[in-house]
Chain A
Amino acid sequence: DQQVKQNSPSLSVQEGRISILNCDYTNSMFDYFLWYKKYPAEGPTFLISISSIKDKNEDGRFTVFLNKSAKHLSLHIVPSQPGDSAVYFCAASLQLSDYKLSFGAGTTVTVRA
């Protein structure tokens, strides 16, 4: 059973608007969370991460929010650009024990011009 879930397989957004991607997890022991971006025919690339001791991390247009009590995190992209069209994977790990990542199924974002 998947421990990291992305329930929205796709998202379409107008250029310049906000994209919000959601991710839920079931293992309360996860202590580190990451987002990866993947273009077709390429490997995933690291985008942004957050430790469980924080509730927000920001890097340019990308912000990740963590709600530990709800076991939920989200990625906000503001403003969305055509180059943001890609598949986004949410991932989680147990850093104290190992660094293996558990991934969600991914959300395909399409930014419309």
Chain B
Amino acid sequence: IAGITQAPTSQILAAGRRMTLRCTQDMRHNAMYWYRQDLGLGLRLIHYSNTAGTTGKGEVPDGYSVSRANTDDFPLTLASAVPSQTSVYFCASSDETGIGYTFGSGTRLTVV
């Protein structure tokens, strides 16, 4: 089934540890995005990539980094996790029309 695969589905992480959230798509979409969902704040853009080899900062990029080595993969790395990064993280992609993102099922991350 075409779509976006995120891993892990959930994780409890000790503060200060490094963590990479994985995201893979099989739709050959050029653009990919990472959002975090927090109660009362909705979905906020962390980082994005318009095409392989390029990345950009979103609304809340601090403490996160991304890479886009190829079209299909867009990992999100927390270099040193802090409790405020406890959230649900969604990866998404869109084609060149930009109309209607396809989202993954999310990764629930708890930093303790």
Check if B40 sits within 8 Å of A43, measured CB to CB.
no
Q: Is B87 an interface residue (CB 8 A)?
A: no
Q: Which residues of B contact A4 (CB under 8 A)?
A: 42
Complex Cα–Cα for A39 and B94 (A): 20
Q: Is B111 an interface residue (CB 8 A)?
A: no
Check if B42 sits within 8 Å of A93, measured CB to CB.
no
Complex Cα–Cα for A4 and B44 (A): 11
Stretch at the interface among B12-20, B62-70, B72-80, B97-105: B97-105
Check if B101 sits within 8 Å of A2, measured CB to CB.
no
0/1 interface trace, chain A 71-112, chain B, CB 8 Å (1 if under)? 000000000000000000101010100111111111000000
Return the 9 tightest CB-CB contacts between A and B, nearest first.
A99-B98, A43-B103, A46-B100, A103-B43, A105-B42, A103-B42, A44-B103, A43-B105, A106-B42
A-B contact pairs, 21 of them (CB 8 A): A4-B42, A9-B40, A32-B98, A32-B99, A34-B99, A41-B105, A41-B106, A42-B105, A43-B103, A44-B43, A44-B103, A91-B43, A95-B98, A98-B98, A100-B45, A100-B48, A101-B43, A101-B101, A102-B45, A105-B42, A106-B42
